[in-house]
A and B are shown apart, each in its own frame.
Chain A
Amino acid sequence: GDSVTQMEGPVTLSEEAFLTINCTYTATGYPSLFWYVQYPGEGLQLLLKATKADDKGSNKGFEATYRKETTSFHLEKGSVQVSDSAVYFCALGPYGQNFVFGPGTRLSVLP
């Protein structure tokens, strides 16, 4: 079945460091890909999305590119802030089916 794999956390960075969180997927068909963020005590918020190969999603300084050849959707940010500390989930949405989430990667940014 469809699945999502993410790099294990926690990831701890200093403020203004470069961030990469790896995400790879297996899916039949042509899914859309998403990154969601979950702050403590809250639900999931959509961070960015890409609906087809080579699309780049971006929001709030975060970027991810849909790479069909490597089945990846890695999340990047050039300069993280303390306020970016959260759990990040990669997800795929097979056409017309329920979303499949990865296990999440916890990010802690130190001042």
Chain B
Amino acid sequence: DAGVTQSPTHLIKTRGQQVTLRCSPKSGHDTVSWYQQALGQGPQFIFQYYEEEERQRGNFPDRFSGHQFPNYSSELNVNALLLGDSALYLCASTAWGDWGINQPQHFGDGTRLSIL
């Protein structure tokens, strides 16, 4: 049973570029959340997708956008990259019904994004 998988593992970009990160949820999950984890800090919620729609959003600018596909996989896009966007980006999945009762999310190993 595959868990949450993310790609790529590492990515290096320069300021002003755009990046796309990908996530496949755990089998049986239909809800995907994205988090940004800066070095030495806890994960910060970016947004959540269910039924191909953004359901919740954290305090992140519009440069951060996402998409969910019919197979439940998801993409995180970041435009006009800034040095401060350097972080580990984590994807977490759950089943929507479990979400409503605060069951744990399952996390991928993340994508390490470095901005030069």
Q: Which A residues lie at the B interface, using CB under 8 A? A: 4, 31-32, 34, 36, 41-46, 49, 51, 89, 91, 93-104
Contacts and interface: CB of A to CB of B under 8 A. Distances in A.
B41 A104 contact: yes
A49 B101 CA distance: 12
Given A43-B108, A43-B110, A44-B90, A95 B102 contact: yes
B53 to A, nearest CB: 15
Contacts of A49: 104
B109 A99 contact: no
Contacts of B40: 103-104
Interface of B: 4, 6, 33, 35, 40-45, 48, 56, 58, 90, 92, 99-102, 104-110
A41 B42 contact: no
A42 B35 CA distance: 14
Given A43-B108, A97-B56, A32 B90 contact: no
B96 to A, nearest CB: 10
Contact of A102 (B42, B45, B58): B42
A93 to B, nearest CB: 4
Nearest to A96: B100
Contacts of B99: 96
Contact of B104 (A31, A46, A94, A97): A46
A46 B93 CA distance: 13
B90 A43 contact: yes
B45 A99 contact: yes
A101 B88 CA distance: 15
